[in-house]
Amino acid sequence: MRLLELFAGGALVAALAVAATDVVHPMFNDLPWVGAGLGVAAGVGALLARRHRTGRAAAATAVASVLWLATTGDHLGPVPARMVVFGVDGALWSLIDAEPLPAFHRASREGTRADLISMEPMFSPLLWTTIASGRTVNEHGVRGFRVQTHDCKVARWWDVAEARGDAVGLYKWLVDYPPRQFAHGGFWVPSWLAPAPDAWPESLAVVKEVELGNRLRRQAVGERGASLRRVAGLVGVGVRLGTLVRGAAWLVREQLGADDTARNVSMQLIRGEIDRDVFVAQLYARAPGVASLNYYATDGLAHLYWDRHEAGGPEVRAAYRQADEILGELMARLGPEARLLVVSDHGFQAMDAKGVAGQFLPLTERLRARLGAEVPDVDVTRIGHKLVVGTRSKADVERARAWLATLTDAEGEPFYVVADFPDDEASLALTLADEQITQARLGTDRVGGEPLSDYVTLTAAYTGMHEESGIFLAWGRGAPAGADLGEVPLLDAAPTLLAGAGLPAARDMPGVARVWPEIPRVESWDGLLRGRTAVPDGGVNEDMLKALGYVDDGKPTP
């Protein structure tokens, strides 16, 4: 019976700890099944009490059960936000419509949907900046991935909301590092491109510490005290008990051995849980009028496992299920007057079948080094079998074009086919002139006097690539139920977002508001950027760029 008494005492201590935490974090206890299990244990103990003297243990377990169940459910009511944006990177309707995703399906019935048509170059930092600003890449100037917030030359929706007196919640919108303090309150947690764990308020930096600490494993500090501090910090900013339990369970599983696929999926999903918990908690704690949450697992897992998805595999579907759960919670927590806009920057498709079964990748870093000697601040990034060369100006792009013409193969022919982007005068699209890549060629061929293997490799690591049709979904007050707008240009997202928030767009935004009526436009919001000084370039999270396949280290991929 000693074991039962120890169990009962431990259960009571745990329930008291959860109850105490619930006082300051009302959403902490999201595991009601534990309380129900304690109730069953208390009942069994009561039945055995006469014969085995388990009465005290049963009573303690019953008290623990009551305490536990009393702290589940937060009863906080609607969040104060009048407009929330949920960005689901790389999402597409064909997948959503084919899967059991109740929140997406309900929002489609009750709201207005469309295909949000993306733009080239189809890179997420560029596209999310266009969604935020309503301006083309030639105007906002964000090209490639090695960019920071001061590289954007135009105002974005959070600048407008702040100027109109709103507290603003900004959670992981691309090209948002370094963060700053909003004038009227709110919060700011930078996206995965951020190279350092900065956030505002400073207490939210723990989210980035965990993300940069090798995704919940092998923490960079490596000290037990630091890990415990981070757990306490996560609880302090809103992470729930269930998220902590699932994270701990994964750590145990990884110690027992886990393959790369299980690791990739688990890390993406645990990060999604943390982001959901913290974002919702901050909506209550900081009370922004306008807020956004961006979710990236739908993109990250699709790059790696699109072939498995097409074969019926669970990896990409797991990300969509989590996105659906987040959407469902946002819908449940918004008030009757609030509005919700769900957008993706692009869709997804299988890698095009070229070369040897399509399993080659053009490499970025040797080209970037050589081209950088001719063109300042050039960037080279990869989407599928295409490279994008981003420069600062039209003059620089012509210098890049001239140099690329001199980069020839062993036959003296240009190695790349160079094309323009209609919407971006300072970038070039490169594809291989000869896409029949074989192991034999990699061992013998030369490019500009250097090994072909410095410029292309064989790999089966990436099976999905971006496609132009993303999602647009407006829900809440004033959104017509069951409407389908067909195709909506990416440039319409910002005016729609601002109209939904009751904020004016600007006349220099070429798009129009869909769903919600516009209020009279101002001439321009770009003056809001005057007086803001650029900070020293702290770089970006290069490890994540490599993990997602946008750049490489210049070495052939195994």
Domain extent for 391: 360-458
The amino acid that residue 502 corresponds to is G
Structural domain contains residue 232: no
- Contact (CB, 8 A) for 494 and 507: no
Q: What is the dihedral of CA 277, 282, 285, 288, to 10 degrees?
A: -150
Whether 380 and 472 map to the same domain: the answer is no
Structural contact between residues 462 and 549, judged by C-beta atoms closer than 8 angstroms:
yes
Structural domains counted in the chain: 3
Is 555 inside a domain boundary?
no
- Is there a single domain that holds both residue 330 and residue 373? no
Taking a C-beta distance cutoff of 8 angstroms, is the pair 120, 143 a contact?
A: no
The pLDDT of residue 319 is 98
- Chain CA centroid to CA 473, Å: 18
Which one of 49, 70, 91 terminates a domain?
70
| 400, 453: one domain | yes
Same domain, 347 and 365: no
Instruction: Specify which residues 381 forms β-bridges with.
Output: 388
pLDDT of residue 334: 98
Residues 399 and 494 in one domain: no
Q: How far is CA 330 from CA 103, 291, 421, 434, in A?
A: 10, 11, 37, 49
Please check whether residue 253 lies inside any domain of the structure. no
Q: What is the pLDDT of residue 462?
A: 80
Residue 350, strand partner residues? 464
Query: In this structure, are 97 and 186 located in the same domain?
Result: yes
Terminal CA-CA length for the chain:
58
The answer on 182 and 309 residing in a single domain is yes
Shared domain for 412 and 394, answered yes or no, is yes
Do residue 396 and residue 514 come from a single domain?
no
- Is residue 269 included in any domain, yes or no? no
Q: What is the DSSP annotation of 86-109?
A: EEETT--HHHHHHS--HHHHHHHH
Question: What b/e readout covers 10-32, taking b as 16+ CB neighbours within 10 angstroms?
Answer: ebbeebeebbebbeebebbbebe
Same structural domain, 334 and 415: no
Task: Note whether 410 and 340 are same-domain residues.
Answer: no
Closest among 191, 169, 170 to 124, alpha carbons compared: 191
Contact 91, 43 (CB under 8 A): no
How is residue 48 written in tokens? 């055995």
Are 469 and 453 members of one domain? no
Is residue 397 situated within a structural domain?
yes
pLDDT in the model for residue 411: 85
∠ Cα 53 56 62 (to 5°): 125
Is 243 within a domain? no
**Domain assignment of residue 331, yes or no:** yes
> How many Cβ atoms from other residues are within 10 Å of residue 531's Cβ?
6
Which pTM was predicted?
0.88
List of long-range contacts for 13-20, beta carbons under 8 Å, 24+ apart: 14/64, 15/63, 15/64, 15/65, 15/67, 15/68, 16/67, 18/67, 18/68, 18/71, 18/241, 19/67, 19/68, 19/70, 19/71
Residues belonging to the chain: 558
Here the tokens at position 435 are 């896409």
**What is the distance between the alpha carbons of residues 135 and 515, in angstroms, rounded to a whole number?**
20
- pLDDT digit string (tens) for the chain, length 558 residues: 566 667 767 778 888 888 888 888 999 999 998 888 877 767 766 665 555 555 677 787 888 888 888 888 888 999 999 999 999 999 999 999 999 999 999 999 999 999 999 998 888 999 999 999 999 999 999 987 778 899 999 999 999 999 999 999 999 999 999 999 999 999 999 998 888 899 999 999 999 998 887 533 433 444 455 578 889 999 999 999 999 999 888 888 877 777 888 888 999 999 999 999 999 999 999 999 999 999 999 999 999 999 999 999 999 999 999 999 999 999 999 999 999 999 999 999 987 655 444 478 889 999 999 999 999 989 998 877 889 999 989 999 999 999 999 999 888 899 999 999 888 899 998 988 887 788 888 889 999 999 999 999 888 778 888 999 999 999 999 999 999 999 999 999 999 999 999 999 999 999 999 999 999 999 999 999 987 766 666 677 777 777 767 777 544 443
Looking at residue 358, what is its pLDDT?
46
Residue 256 lies in a domain: no
Identify the CATH number of the domain in which residue 517 sits: 3.40.720.10
pLDDT given for residue 118 in this prediction: 96
Extended strands (E) in 93-231:
112-117, 168-171, 186-189
Q: Give the domain-ending residue among 70, 99, 122.
A: 70
